[in-house]
Amino acid sequence: MVTGTTVHSSKEALRLTRLFPETLYSTAGVHPHEAKSWDEETEEALRELLANQEVVAVGECGLDFNRNFSPQDTQLEVFQKQVSLACSLKKPLFIHERDAHKEVLEVLRKYKDRLPPVVIHCFTGDASQATAYLKEGCYIGLTGYVWKDKSEDGVRRILEDGILPLDRLLVETDSPFMYPNTRASKLPPYVKEALTERSLTFLHRYCTFQRNEPCSLPVTIEMIAAYMKKKSDQVALQTTFNALKVFGLTT
């Protein structure tokens, strides 16, 4: 899944999908960092992109009140426009949220009866936030970030305590970020022991200089499976099925 964050990058993402048909898919949207770039032509440009069958979701859109690269009121306005667009086109929403959990929920609840599937991308919040998103019917996307979260109420807890059910979990890279550092001392020994030589070799051979790429996904799956006390094959199959269902992909 090649993610668009501006009209331009969304067009480039679509171009890549056409180089690798039925292997790559893409999204089209305006990231909250880029919300200030929205103009009177943006929505129509996104509509045209989303009319293509390879473009399977609206986003990456949402709110980022941590960095505020765009003014908060502008972020809110642009996010609501994209939620409305997703509802009208019946395309899934791919959402970025940072330090704006309450505000994202408020926007989503305005469209509650019309919402398509919603993915909270690269979730790094706490258990109460995960529970609130799940209650609204959202899917939770996890990345290699699971290696570094050691808070008592964070991502590890939602996996270990069964707060996040397997049928609402998606696994992603967020490449080139969120590299799964399998050599970190903070990674619990039982998780390290669950990592297979094959997946580690694949990771270290192809994801060089901690540049995160899809080759990291087997290791991320194994870490998540260890926290959930499930077999990695089970997590891999279920999360693949979830992705096919949410994004309407074909195999």
| Percent of residues, the chain, with pLDDT higher than 70 | 99
- Cα-flanking dihedrals φ and ψ of residue 111, to 5°? -115, 20
Q: Which residue has the tokens 């807890």?
A: 157
Sketch the domain layout of the chain as residue ranges: 7-178+231-247
* Six token digits for residue 81: 């426009």
Across residues 212-238, what is the average pLDDT?
A: 96
Give the model's confidence band at 208: pLDDT under 50 very low, under 70 low, under 90 confident, else very high. Answer: confident
pTM recorded for the entire structure: 0.95
Paired residues of 58 in beta bridges:
28, 93
pLDDT of residue 5: 97
Paired residues of 230 in beta bridges:
none
Q: Where are the alpha helices (DSSP H) in the chain?
A: 7-19, 42-50, 72-89, 101-110, 127-135, 155-160, 189-194, 197-206, 217-228, 232-247
Paired residues of 98 in beta bridges:
64
Give the model's confidence band at 210: pLDDT under 50 very low, under 70 low, under 90 confident, else very high. Answer: confident
Q: Do 66 and 99 form a contact (C-beta atoms < 8 A)? A: yes
* Six token digits for residue 225: 């499976």
Give the model's confidence band at 209: pLDDT under 50 very low, under 70 low, under 90 confident, else very high. Answer: confident
Q: Read out DSSP for 170-215?
A: EE---TTS----TT-TTS-HHHHHHS-HHHHHHHHHHSGGG---GG
Query: What's the pLDDT tens digit per position in 64-79?
Result: 999 999 999 999 999 9
Across residues 48-55, what is the average pLDDT?
A: 97
Q: Burial code of 154-188, b = ≥16 C-beta within 10 A, e = fewer? A: bbbbbbeeeebebebbbbbbbbeebbbebeeeebe
Label residue 74 exposed, middle or buried (CB < 10 Å: 0-12, 13-18, 19+).
middle
Tell me which of 8-12, 144-148, 218-222, 226-230 is least confident. Answer: 144-148
33 is in an annotated binding site: no
pLDDT value at 207 more than 90: no
Give the model's confidence band at 149: pLDDT under 50 very low, under 70 low, under 90 confident, else very high. Answer: confident
60 is in an annotated binding site: yes
Domain 7-178+231-247: state its class: alpha beta
96 is in an annotated binding site: yes
pLDDT of residue 251: 58
